[in-house]
């Protein structure tokens, strides 16, 4: 049974004798940093225009979220830097990484959800939860580190568990909306359309994985393994961001052809996951192109040529030109 009146283990440096915990902390942080750097490179290899909520949410979650959060706890647990620097870096990373991952999910939610009430609910859920949870956690973190009273220790331990559980519930709610809407789309698709079905199953999979990873974080937290939980968190979020980057970008092409019934030859031209020279991804918000939108199709179901990656433009160019062009 964890005593909530004790300070979290490792806040002034990890002094335990467990070599396994020390190794795992380094491994978790290294994987998080590797994933973050790889995703940062893929972002700039994939996007032709650097704008839009999706792009910036991913970029900031990596640069100002995962990277400083992972580095901060290595500095803190191994006493490699002043405590104020470690706490400041971890706070910045926490502010951007945790709500940022939910914003990444939200930025693509309009591609599967047409109900504006649901979209507004998710947006306000992210904003309100961030305000209610981030500020008290920050105050209690610095108070625990510098005031060092049992009251602040208990307050921090309670708040740490509560905010982790709360953010997990938030992400489970968003993932559940994706799962529900994805199942509806699957029921509307013809059995022969393997490409769309594959993307939908990938979307289902990443949202189930998100839920499982959140549950794993909760388990580690509630058994009292604070050093492992804090270093496992950036690794978990880096994995979730990579999965979302790989699959959510495909939703653009999916909704564009949702009612167009492409031929088998057209299906074969689409790129696959996650080659940066082939990845299909929009840059803004799937901006509509009225000249290409069939009658009766809602605006959210179309994509402009400018919102596609360079490779996708080359693929689609022959279908919009009177010349017989064949890419080499």
- The pLDDT confidence band at residue 227, using thresholds 50, 70 and 90, is confident
Identify the residue with better confidence: 308 or 60: 60
- The pLDDT confidence band at residue 69, using thresholds 50, 70 and 90, is very high
The whole-angstrom separation of Cα 144 and Cα 154 is 9
* Per-position DSSP letters for 112-168, written without gaps between them: T---HHHHHHHHHHHHHHHHHHHHHHHHHHHHHHHT--HHHHHHHHHHHHHHHHHHH
| The residue to which tokens 């620097």 are assigned | 85
What local confidence, expressed as pLDDT, does residue 308 receive?
47
Q: Where are the domains of the chain?
A: 19-255
The whole-angstrom separation of Cα 252 and Cα 301 is 8
The whole-angstrom separation of Cα 126 and Cα 102 is 7
Cis check for the bond before 274: say yes or no (omega within 30 of 0): yes
Going by the DSSP 8-state scheme, the letter that residue 173 receives in this structure is H
Identify the residue with better confidence: 87 or 298: 87
What local confidence, expressed as pLDDT, does residue 12 receive?
81
Residues above pLDDT 90, as percent of the chain? 38
What local confidence, expressed as pLDDT, does residue 139 receive?
93
The whole-angstrom separation of Cα 28 and Cα 12 is 20
Going by the DSSP 8-state scheme, the letter that residue 273 receives in this structure is T
Q: Where are the alpha helices (DSSP H) in 257-302?
A: 264-268
- The pLDDT confidence band at residue 298, using thresholds 50, 70 and 90, is very low
- The pLDDT confidence band at residue 281, using thresholds 50, 70 and 90, is very low
Looking at the predicted structure, is the pLDDT value of residue 226 above 60? yes
Fold of 19-255: Rhopdopsin 7-helix transmembrane proteins (1.20.1070)
Return the exposure string of 55-71: e unless at least 16 CB atoms fall within 10 Å of the residue's CB, then b: bebbbebbebbbbbbbb
Identify the residue with better confidence: 272 or 141: 141
Identify the residue with better confidence: 298 or 116: 116
Mean pLDDT of 135-161: 90
The whole-angstrom separation of Cα 160 and Cα 221 is 9
Average pLDDT, the chain: 78
What local confidence, expressed as pLDDT, does residue 221 receive?
86
What local confidence, expressed as pLDDT, does residue 11 receive?
80
Region label for 310, one of left (φ > 0), alpha (ψ between -120 and 50) or beta (otherwise): alpha
Q: Where are the alpha helices (DSSP H) in 223-249?
A: 226-248
Looking at the predicted structure, is the pLDDT value of residue 110 above 50? yes
């Amino acid at each position: 049974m964890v005593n909530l009146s004790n300070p979290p283990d490792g806040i002034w440096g990890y002094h335990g004798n467990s070599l396994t915990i020390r190794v795992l902390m380094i491994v978790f942080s290294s994987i998080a940093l590797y994933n973050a750097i790889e995703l940062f490179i893929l972002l700039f290899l994939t996007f032709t225009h650097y704008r839009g909520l999706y792009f910036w949410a991913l970029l900031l979650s990596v640069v100002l979220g995962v990277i400083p959060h992972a580095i901060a706890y290595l500095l803190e647990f191994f006493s490699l830097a002043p405590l104020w620097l470690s706490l400041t870096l971890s706070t910045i990373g926490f502010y951007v990484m945790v709500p940022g991952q939910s914003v990444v999910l939200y930025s693509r939610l309009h591609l599967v959800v047409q109900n504006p009430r649901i979209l507004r609910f998710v947006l306000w859920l992210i904003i309100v939860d961030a305000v209610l949870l981030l500020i008290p956690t920050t105050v209690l973190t610095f108070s625990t580190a510098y005031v060092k009273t049992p009251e602040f220790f208990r307050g921090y331990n309670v708040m740490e568990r509560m905010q982790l559980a709360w953010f997990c519930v938030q992400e489970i709610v968003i993932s559940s909306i994706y799962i529900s809407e994805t199942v509806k789309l699957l029921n509307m698709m013809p059995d022969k359309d393997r490409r769309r079905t594959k993307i939908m199953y990938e979307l289902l999979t990443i949202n189930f994985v998100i839920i499982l990873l959140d549950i794993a974080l909760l388990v580690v937290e509630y058994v009292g393994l604070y050093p492992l939980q804090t270093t496992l968190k950036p690794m978990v979020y880096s994995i979730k961001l990579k999965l979302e980057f790989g699959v959510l970008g495909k939703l653009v092409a999916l909704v564009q052809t949702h009612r167009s019934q492409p031929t088998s030859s057209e299906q074969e031209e689409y790129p696959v996951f996650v080659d940066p020279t082939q990845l299909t991804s929009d840059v803004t918000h799937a901006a509509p192109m009225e000249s290409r939108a069939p009658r009766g199709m809602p605006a959210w179901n179309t994509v402009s040529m400018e919102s596609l990656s360079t490779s996708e433009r080359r693929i689609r160019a022959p279908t919009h030109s009177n010349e017989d062009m064949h890419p080499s």
